[in-house]
Structure 1
């Protein structure tokens, strides 16, 4: 009897072991092989390895683990492609797997639940807005119509620099370029400047700055799963306050546009050049449109458009150190086909504002170089700071020196 029991126990152990082994083998067969990965810590994953400047830390990891690595940003899995070849493999071969952008608490809240274009999920709404962007909002005809806006703002910028040159006063180059970009985009979207000395202009400028700050800051809720519904860093209060201010301001501007539209409709007066807000309102009022734009869609588009364009323009200004061939053409194609440099993304989710950004960069930079020499105040510190557009740790302070004699009259 004891022998029988022993055999039964051995059989049961064998059976359980066989089941477990087969389960493990089947699991390994179905589970994809992951790229190399450093040792992760509980809860925070590999976040501790990304300080103090993430892109430098990722470069160090790639030199040790190879061009493709797998890391955990807290509880969020992430694959890092660190060479042009691996980036091409992802963006060309596996583009359908990366059609949606990762969501963050700040972006989702500020854009009315991702009701904008940049962060909207891939689907009918995103396709519709992509088509509108390429044909109406950022197409060649629209950019040509708004050329006088860009010309006027660059002219005013040069006048400002001329005054500084005559007074031999220094400027923060990066800060002034941001103001120039803010003015151009604000006029293109809402027909008003954001660097004038009035309350509304100051509000626009401050909101753009605060949105940029909130969206680039590290938020525990985005990466640590049990912090998802907690506001340990106080982000929620600031996001709500900035969102309410932006909503109030945008609502006021939309109502002003609607009043102008009503008057012009009653009088039959035409408007030769429409800003982007007028075009969005046209689409929202068009009953034959294949998709109805809501007020939140319009507000969200205005916010992301402003923020995204400024980000891309600044990325281009930072890259002015790139080598230039003798024929004057950059060696880098920034439109998403040259995978060494993807400041505008690539594929379906590539930025539709590439042409506008390049026009701004080329014209502004050419004017700065042609009209002025630049004397650095102090030393040029190339130390990198933190942020989406990789700012300098310390601003570049220069004194503009007029180099054209006589200087062209404005």
Structure 2
């Protein structure tokens, strides 16, 4: 979202060149408080490289519901659970559309996916199909054998480094194992190239960089042509063609297997979608273009949030050795002397779940959720919200609000231990890392299963130490803003096998 310095100078020049123009009248609407803005660029200059932190700082001054002007787009920022509850309970339909940025439009080649389709009959049918056929608890459980196999490979890889006394780049290993899990769940096989690296991983990085990148069209629709001059449109188009070719090849391969009856009984997402296309079940028209868009949702949504969360879990545990000792004691007591960590064991690890929840509270994977767009005017918090306003819910800010959470900046998993502790379906919106309302994350069960199982294995099989000369206080906690809030510096640790 932050502007490139050259673009900022250009827009500031336009602003001051037009400084004497009359400002448009606000009419009789009672709009939320707004920071002072510049002509043309509005409040864009006040948003830094970490928008969730910029929004939090502005909200402390202008209130929990605030209207910014990001370029020519009126943008609402909501930073209190009470306003979120009113928004997603009382006015959920009006706030159910999602803003569709230029990057999504081009990469999806104009196709309608689950994440960005406007609220309506098509979206309802697609969500029902995805929840029932792809992301149900039964379907997630049926893929446990894949998680078992991929985690076993991960443990063996770390064990080899442990025997040689080598540190491992845990961030990279978590990305690899999650990519492999997601590839197998979605298309039935690992996406490995001839060099052994994930073919999907490289494309995924391009997409994750493209989604939050600045686009003139998104903030200055009349200047959309400048995206051609900056080369952004061309970059997106090339990425779109690369993604399309990847899925085209995958679909053709699976379609042949489906036709000749070579598929195993343990079907993956793409097999289910192709089967639904051929049979017409659910009365839903699934074109190949729509299938590609759904698959892309599954890849991007399942990989980045899980990797980011596990990375932050291990980072917080290294910073908090007492918590690490307590959670490892629980994990090892539950598993005992068994030769593997069973998924039923994980369900008994109450404190581990608290550790993961506390990580999700402090490091919400998608800190602003996916921006929404009002489908009509609405009244929210006593203010009038314009039609077509872009809406940012600052989950990151709410989950760190000292008015909501005592010692909000501290890592305290025990806050989730009591029976009345909020969960990921919190109706008061104090804790909602997977979103809420009609647009709550459909893949929540898949993400939780991955995060819990991988983390339990890391804590069971190994003790972890920081490299020589590094202490928990030295750990780099810097963030990088993308589709999720990534840990900027990789987490490198020394694994010591637990015997």
- Aligned equivalents of 1:47, 1:199: Cα separation in 2: 43
In structure 1, which of residues 56, 64, 68 is the aligned counterpart of residue 61 of structure 2? 64
State the shift of 1:197 in Å. 5.1
State the shift of 1:393 in Å. 2.7
Matched, 1:121 2:118: yes
- Aligned equivalents of 1:281, 1:201: Cα separation in 2: 27
State the shift of 1:347 in Å. 1.0
1:325 match: 414
Aligned in 2, Cα 1:176/1:329: closer, same or farther, shift over 3 Å?
A: farther
TM-score in terms of structure 1 length: 0.85
Q: Is the 8 A contact 2:179 2:198 kept in 1?
A: no
In structure 1, which of residues 368, 378, 386 is the aligned counterpart of residue 481 of structure 2? 386
Aligned in 2, Cα 1:329/1:132: closer, same or farther, shift over 3 Å?
A: farther
Q: Give 4+ residue runs of structure 1 displaced > 4 Å after superposition.
A: 326-332
- Aligned equivalents of 2:226, 2:426: Cα separation in 1: 38
Q: Is the 8 A contact 1:284 1:293 kept in 2?
A: yes
Matched, 1:165 2:157: no
State the shift of 1:318 in Å. 5.8
Structure 1 residues 1-400: aligned runs within 5 Å = 28=27, 31-194=28-191, 196=192, 198=194, 202-231=198-227, 232-264=229-261, 271-287=264-280, 289-317=282-310, 320=313, 321=316, 322=358, 323-325=412-414, 331-335=421-425, 337-377=427-467, 378=470, 379-400=474-495
Of 371-380 and 248-257, more deviation after overlay is shown by 371-380
Q: Which runs of 5+ in 2 are unaligned?
A: 1-24, 317-357, 359-411
Aligned residues: 372
State the shift of 1:65 in Å. 0.8
Q: Is the 8 A contact 1:207 1:242 kept in 2?
A: yes
TM-score in terms of structure 2 length: 0.70
Aligned in 2, Cα 1:262/1:52: closer, same or farther, shift over 3 Å?
A: closer
- Aligned equivalents of 1:84, 1:301: Cα separation in 2: 31
- Aligned equivalents of 2:111, 2:35: Cα separation in 1: 33
Aligned in 2, Cα 1:372/1:326: closer, same or farther, shift over 3 Å?
A: farther
1:5 match: none
Q: Which runs of 5+ in 1 are unaligned?
A: 1-23, 406-410
Of 152-161 and 322-331, more deviation after overlay is shown by 322-331
Name the larger-Rg structure.
Answer: 1
- Aligned equivalents of 2:463, 2:297: Cα separation in 1: 35
Q: Which has the higher helix share?
A: 1
SS in 2 for 1:381: coil
Q: Is the 8 A contact 2:171 2:311 kept in 1?
A: no
SS in 1 for 2:67: strand
Q: Is the 8 A contact 2:135 2:446 kept in 1?
A: yes
What CA deviation, in whole Å up to 9, does each residue of 1:309-341 have, x standing for no partner?
123324533663523238857944223535233
Of 222-231 and 234-243, more deviation after overlay is shown by 222-231
2:384 match: none
- Aligned equivalents of 1:263, 1:201: Cα separation in 2: 30
State the shift of 1:383 in Å. 2.1
Aligned in 2, Cα 1:233/1:168: closer, same or farther, shift over 3 Å?
A: farther
Q: What is the Cα-based RMSD across aligned positions, in Å?
A: 2.2
State the shift of 1:116 in Å. 1.3
